[in-house]
Amino acid sequence: MRLFLVRHGESEWNAQRLLQGQADVGLSERGRDQARALSATVQRFQPERVLVSDLARTRETAELLGYAEHEPVPALREINVGRWTGQNIDDLMTENAQAFQGWRSGIYTPPGGESWQTFKQRTNGVVAGLRSGALERALMVAHGGVIRALLEGLLGLSPGRVVPVSPASLTVLRLGPLNGSAEARLEAFNYRPDALAFDAPD
């Protein structure tokens, strides 16, 4: 099975560098343009199923990609960052750098937030369900954290070794059957039709 992973376009909080977690924040106008720019690329792959986080920014991204008909999946929501929700990323990096870097590496949980291990289990569980069927192509429109959690669960890439996922970018994984011997392979990461980005907001 080939799994196409798209992060939502830039949100209003991404534009302000605010950490959003599960806050239901909509896309910025730039984010809408980013999603439209990726639509032709994604549509060429003709996914058989389209699974989408049930938050507004991912659902709108799916619609702009050309998939108004999609399956909302709460388990694909971004990690819950607890009391850090709405906090400025630059302020967190300055005032609480060790904790922030620990969170980015999956070893620190913000107060009231969700642990990385719990998050990884719920997101990878969605993929396990897909692999148990006979799908050839599936599209997931989700969040940067979700994509990094899948990269760890499927490829063993720890979150601290993966740069933030760019808004409206495409990552592609090739997966064997759930109980098969074939390992997962990374076929593309952070692809955008306009330009590469290495400093995307979380």
Catalytic residue list: 8, 78
CA distance 88 to 57: 19
* Dihedral in degrees, nearest 10, Cα atoms 16, 167, 115, 105: -90
CA distance 152 to 165: 14
For 50, the 3-state DSSP assignment is strand
Cβ neighbour number for residue 112 with a 10 Å cutoff: 11
Instruction: Read off the tokens for 149.
Output: 């959690």
CA distance 62 to 65: 5
Instruction: Read off the tokens for 95.
Output: 């005032």
Strands annotated E in 67-179: 71-72, 137-142, 170-174
Instruction: Read off the tokens for 39.
Output: 């639509």
Cβ neighbour number for residue 196 with a 10 Å cutoff: 9
> Where is 7: in which H helix or E strand?
strand 2-7
